[in-house]
Amino acid sequence: MAQLVWGLLFLGLMAMAHGLQKGDDLLNVCMDGKHHKYEPSQEDDLHQQCSPWKKRACCTANTSIAAHEDASHLYKFNFNHCGMLTPACKRHFVQDLCLYECSPNLGPWIQPVNSSWRKERVLNIPLCKEDCNMWWEDCKTSYTCKENWHKGWNWSSGINECPVKAACHPFSFYFPTPTSLCENIWSRSYNASHSYGRGSGKCIQMWFDPAQGNPNEAVAKFYANSSAPDIFSWGCSFPFLTLLLPLLLRA
């Protein structure tokens, strides 16, 4: 009996350790993308809107500079395909790109992808409602010709151009709500949070004051620790051990 109890205890402890390690593997990581570093590190010279990530970044200084350029070498993507975006609108796309390229806190949402230019992508990042609403408000009068910017472009010139018969309309035509913008424009890279806002600890912020710390670290940890509800997770292993303890004391 004693050997059985000790054996079960050992298995339980191993399961908990595996669950905790599984969560830790999702923290402080860089995705396997086109321009990402292998692992995050300090980058003191990150450019302008990318600078909040300088203490621990998955992007280089050169990548951060290119993130601010129109049709930059990063992806040859022209944001001004239907005329110039307003400056207020453009800054959200720069911030979106800085988050994507630089953040080490997207691990819980990284997924493998079969693509010629990257091996991983992010999916369903819970974007704070303020960030999504501001993005839509600042862009609703700018123009575009598509609701999904990931695919379907005419690349014959080397940069993205509107497909034939795709008419330019205000953003509000293709994206009637903030949710439609945040979720559709990059093929559900984001999931618009309706219940959670900045400071909730349950949504990712594009915008934050680095002097106050990076709030996305705690958000990533929250989702990493709750991402594996199986027998290898702490949540399932702990009750098992509490039931096992009386048997151990009697053994």
pLDDT for residue 164 is more than 50: yes
pLDDT one-digit tens code per residue, 73-107 = 899 999 999 999 999 999 999 999 999 999 999 99
Write out the two tokens for 213. 């710390």
pLDDT one-digit tens code per residue, 102-150 = 999 999 999 999 888 889 999 999 999 999 999 999 999 999 999 999 9
Q: What is the mean pLDDT of residues 215-235?
A: 76
Lowest mean pLDDT among 13-17, 40-44, 76-80: 13-17
- Parallel/antiparallel/unpaired status of strands 120-122 and 190-192: unpaired
Q: Is pLDDT larger for residue 248 or for residue 201?
A: 201
The predicted pLDDT at position 73 comes to 84
Nearest to 216 by CA among 48, 62, 88, 52: 52
Q: Report the percent of the chain where pLDDT is more than 70.
A: 80
In DSSP notation, 76-113 reads ---TTBTBPPPHHHHHHHHHHHHHHHH-S--GGGEEE-
pLDDT one-digit tens code per residue, 170-187 = 999 999 999 999 999 999
pLDDT for residue 238 is more than 80: no
What predicted TM-score, i.e. pTM, was given to this entire model? 0.81
Q: What is the residue whose two structure tokens read 């003191």?
A: 44
The predicted pLDDT at position 71 comes to 79
On whether the CB atoms of residues 135 and 94 are closer than 8 A, the answer is no
Write out the two tokens for 158. 């080397």
Residues whose CB is less than 8 angstroms from the CB of residue 222 and which lie 6 or more positions away in sequence, other chains included: 201, 202
On whether the CB atoms of residues 103 and 189 are closer than 8 A, the answer is no
Tell me if residue 185 falls in helix, strand or coil. coil
Q: Where are the alpha helices (DSSP H) in the chain?
A: 2-24, 61-66, 87-102, 129-139, 171-174, 178-184, 216-225, 234-250
The predicted pLDDT at position 243 comes to 56
The predicted pLDDT at position 11 comes to 45
On whether the CB atoms of residues 216 and 205 are closer than 8 A, the answer is yes
Q: What is the mean pLDDT of residues 159-169?
A: 96
The C-alpha angle 78, 86, 177, rounded to 5 degrees, equals: 90
Q: What is the residue whose two structure tokens read 């999904």?
A: 148
User: In which band, very low, low, confident or very high, does the pLDDT at 2 lie, cut at 50, 70 and 90?
Assistant: low
The predicted pLDDT at position 115 comes to 84
The predicted pLDDT at position 70 comes to 86
Please state the domain extents for the chain. 27-226
Q: Is pLDDT larger for residue 23 or for residue 240?
A: 23
pLDDT for residue 9 is more than 50: no
Q: What is the mean pLDDT of residues 44-56?
A: 96
